[in-house]
Chain A
């Protein structure tokens, strides 16, 4: 008996390989936006490795946290590489998450039967927000201190139990060494494990129903004599070699950032990260990292504390119900010009909110912030009506694909 037959008899791996790689049939017309998914997997692995290596030198205490983080930069061999990989990796993950989600919205990947794929995926995005937040508290810079104070104080707005929740999260009345301890524990165990678990579910749920495509056509409706969809190709080797190429390009971008512009104009690594926590000196303006700032802009748009928080929570929760808001039989916005225009306005508006969220809280920005918040919410409120009545073009019978 050869080793191979011995192994195959005992291991689920060959079967899993067939099911999810060699015999997972994916539409052949994926475009450039479809690289984001596999790149996210790559980034999570790199984030895990660099995270483990910076954690190996990190001390979670008020006295030592900041110095230990800079000890990694200055004293650890290639510590700067681990640190920049971990710091810039976060921003790049969010770049990919936004591309991945925007693609899903453009081509209707959240539509039946893929609602749960969308819901799980959106939960991963929220988990990444939490992971990133806990992560940037850990260096205990002045940004960490004040961002931690501001964000944890949001919990105070929860009715009745707000004070209790805030104290529970902080481990005291304000930021302290205990806060640092529990945030590190959350960052490296619970939240990270939730992300990994949800990613596994995201892929399993996707492979159960099959991938959508830019034309929004159900490829299983048109099967060839061999029983496989005629417009689909096995994931391996076709998409695996394609993604390998994607890995190369993406790593090139990642490396270029790390080696030549690690702070990316202090957008990926803020200036206030470079000064230790000082409870006596608040920052000139506390702005969140760019990937959270759209929601922050909406928080500021309403001149009422609880009103702002409610708007922000609504803005965060709305995308969950997106699959049930869209009621048009045509899936992809390629054949729904009005929804497509709405989406493009929505994306541009999101970028505008991201920009506004980074600005100091000056009155001249408030009007725009309110307009942005209205457009954001209006998209979700209008979608059920627009999708029901909008004129559509007839999608083709087969996916659009030009052989290379």
Chain B
């Protein structure tokens, strides 16, 4: 504010000015907000991206003990057909106490997958094959002792050595913080198909 402009004039009403400045500032910020919010929202996934959201995977070619990877929303989704002996290894891992989150308390999976199989149907594991640590793609290592002498079968990440069991639960000593994420999906064992519908919103991908 300039003093020169006020020579030989009565002093300005400072309180009134401050009050009006506050009103203009608040409403000005609101105006800026109404422009800024849609601008940021326009960078959200588009309706076109949402339309491509589901992927159907045919289970019939996957033999017991084998796995298959499908691309879903630019992400690898792994489907594993687990044998009874592979399912037994899950209990073994729990008993040995090598898992960071054996009971899946961190919501890395939809509620219907909050069990030791981390799946809707025990035999079929469906999950996003992305390591929780820094987004690498872990290798599928089902054979016992294939990674270390104590290895029960699971996933091993080539980047920083994160380890997971056959339900993709993270093993202690890995840099990865959580179990691998499981998306929302529907499975029909009769028709041998899985429909991956959505990312589970609470799950942390990497």
Contacts and interface: CB of A to CB of B under 8 A. Distances in A.
A contacts B directly in the complex (CB < 8 Å)? Answer: yes
Interface of A: 22, 46, 49-50, 53, 56-57, 71, 74-79, 81-82, 224, 226, 228, 233-234, 237-238, 241, 244, 248, 251
Contact of A75 (B35, B41, B46): B46
Given A76-B46, A228-B4, A244 B28 contact: yes
Contact of A82 (B5, B42, B47): B42
A53 B46 contact: no
A382 to B, nearest CB: 43
B48 A78 contact: no
B95 interface: no
Nearest to A50: B39
B26 interface: no
Nearest to B1: A237
Contacts of A75: 46-48
A53 B46 CA distance: 13
User: For the side of the interface on B, what is the size category?
Assistant: 10 to 19
Nearest to A78: B38
B2 interface: yes
B53 to A, nearest CB: 13
Contacts of A53: 39, 42-43
B71 interface: no
B31 interface: yes
A74 B47 contact: yes
A113 B38 CA distance: 45
Contacts of A56: 42-43
Contacts of A78: 38-39, 41-42
Given A78-B42, A82-B42, A228-B4, 11 more contacts: A49-B39, A53-B43, A74-B47, A75-B46, A79-B42, A79-B46, A82-B39, A226-B7, A233-B2, A234-B5, A244-B24
B28 A71 contact: no
23 contacts: A22-B2, A46-B35, A49-B39, A53-B42, A53-B43, A56-B42, A71-B48, A76-B42, A77-B38, A77-B46, A78-B38, A78-B41, A78-B42, A79-B42, A81-B42, A82-B39, A82-B42, A226-B4, A226-B7, A228-B4, A238-B5, A241-B24, A251-B31
Interface in B39-96: 39, 41-44, 46-48
Contacts of A228: 4
Nearest to B20: A241
Contacts, number: 52
Contacts of A57: 42, 46
Contacts of A244: 24, 28
Nearest to A255: B34
Contacts of B41: 77-78
Contacts of B43: 53, 56
Most chain A CB atoms below 10 A, which of B24, B31, B44, B46: B46
B38 to A, nearest CB: 4
Interface in B1-32: 1-2, 4-5, 7, 24, 28, 31
A81 B41 CA distance: 11
A380 B82 CA distance: 88
Nearest to A234: B2
Contacts of A81: 38, 42
- Tell me which of A49, A56, A76, A226 has the highest count of chain B C-beta atoms within 10 A of its own C-beta: A76
B57 to A, nearest CB: 26
A24 to B, nearest CB: 11
A399 B78 CA distance: 79
Nearest to B17: A237
A81 B34 CA distance: 11
A22 B43 CA distance: 38
A221 B39 CA distance: 48
B191 to A, nearest CB: 32
Contact of A71 (B5, B35, B39, B46): B46
A320 to B, nearest CB: 36
Nearest to B3: A226
Nearest to B41: A77
A166 to B, nearest CB: 37
Contacts of B5: 233-234, 238
A22 B4 CA distance: 12
Nearest to B48: A75
Most A Cβ at <10 Å: residue of B24, B42, B43:
B42
A77 B4 contact: no
Nearest to B50: A75
A77 B48 CA distance: 11
A53 B41 CA distance: 10
Interface in B132-191: none
A76 B40 CA distance: 11
Contacts of B4: 224, 226, 228
